[in-house]
Structure 1
Amino acid sequence: MRRYSVVIPIYNRPDEIKELLESLTKQTYRNFDVVVVEDGSSIKCEEIVNSFKEQLDISYYFKENTGQGFSRNYGYERSKGDYFIVFDSDCIIPPNYFEELEKALNEKFLDAYGGPDKSHPSFTDVQKAISYSMTSLFTTGGIRGNKKSVGVFHPRSFNMGISRRVFEKTSGYIITRMGEDIEFSIRIINSGFKSGLVENAFVYHKRRTNFGHFFKQLHFFGRARINIYRFFPSELKPIHFMPAAFTLFCAFTILSAIFSSSVFFICSGFLLLYSLLILIDSTVKNKSLKIGFLSIAAVFTQLTGYGIGFLTELKRELFKEKK
Structure 2
Amino acid sequence: MNRLAVVIPVYNDPNGIKTTLDALQSDSIMKIVVDNGSSDNTKDVVRRYQVKSDAIALQEELGIQSSYAARNKGVKKSDADIIAFLDADMRASEDYFERAIEEMNDRELDYLGCNVELGLPDDTLVGRYNARTGFPVEQYLEEQHYAPTCALLVRRDVFEEVGPFDARLVSGGDREFGERVHEAGYKQGYAEDATVYHPARTSFESLAKKNFRVGRGFCQKQRYYPERYGNPGIPPKPDGPSGGDDEDEPDSIFTRLAFMFLSFAMLACRGAGYYYEFFFGEERDDIPAPTS
Report the TM-score range of the alignment, normalised by the length of the smaller protein.
0.7 to 0.9
SS at match of 1:35: strand
1:173-322 alignment, distance < 5 Å: 173-178=165-170, 179-236=172-229, 240-242=236-238, 281-283=249-251, 295-313=259-277
Bigger Rg, structure 1 or 2: 1
Does residue 39 of structure 2 align to residue 42 of structure 1? yes
Q: Partner of 2:3 in structure 1?
A: 3
C-alpha distance 9-22 of structure 1, shift in aligned 2 (>3 A): same
C-alpha distance 147-65 of structure 1, shift in aligned 2 (>3 A): closer
Q: Is the 8 A contact 1:70 1:173 kept in 2?
A: yes
- In structure 2, distance between residues paired with 1:313 and 1:176: 13
Q: Partner of 1:100 in structure 2?
A: 99
- Report the aligned-residue RMSD: 3.5
* TM-score under structure 2 length normalisation: 0.78
**Offset, 1:278:** 5.7
C-alpha distance 294-10 of structure 1, shift in aligned 2 (>3 A): farther
Q: What is the percent sequence identity of the aligned residues?
A: 24
- Once the two structures are overlaid, the 10-residue window that deviates more, 233-242 or 205-214, is 233-242
1:69-115 C-alpha deviation (Å, 9 max, x unpaired): 11111111111321011112132222221122022112212211222
C-alpha distance 123-79 of structure 1, shift in aligned 2 (>3 A): farther
Does residue 16 of structure 2 align to residue 16 of structure 1? yes
Output the amino acid matched with 2:75: Y
**Offset, 1:203:** 1.9
Does residue 99 of structure 2 align to residue 64 of structure 1? no
Q: Is the 8 A contact 1:155 1:182 kept in 2?
A: yes
1:38-69 C-alpha deviation (Å, 9 max, x unpaired): 11111132332233333561111234151211
- In structure 2, distance between residues paired with 1:121 and 1:316: 35
**Offset, 1:310:** 3.4
Q: Is the 8 A contact 2:145 2:182 kept in 1?
A: no
Unaligned runs of 5+ in 2: 282-292
C-alpha distance 41-148 of structure 1, shift in aligned 2 (>3 A): closer
- In structure 2, distance between residues paired with 1:168 and 1:43: 34
Q: Partner of 1:131 in structure 2?
A: 131
Q: Is the 8 A contact 1:36 1:60 kept in 2?
A: yes
Q: Is the 8 A contact 2:100 2:112 kept in 1?
A: no
Q: Partner of 1:146 in structure 2?
A: 139
Q: Partner of 2:153 in structure 1?
A: 161
| Greater helix share, structure number | 1
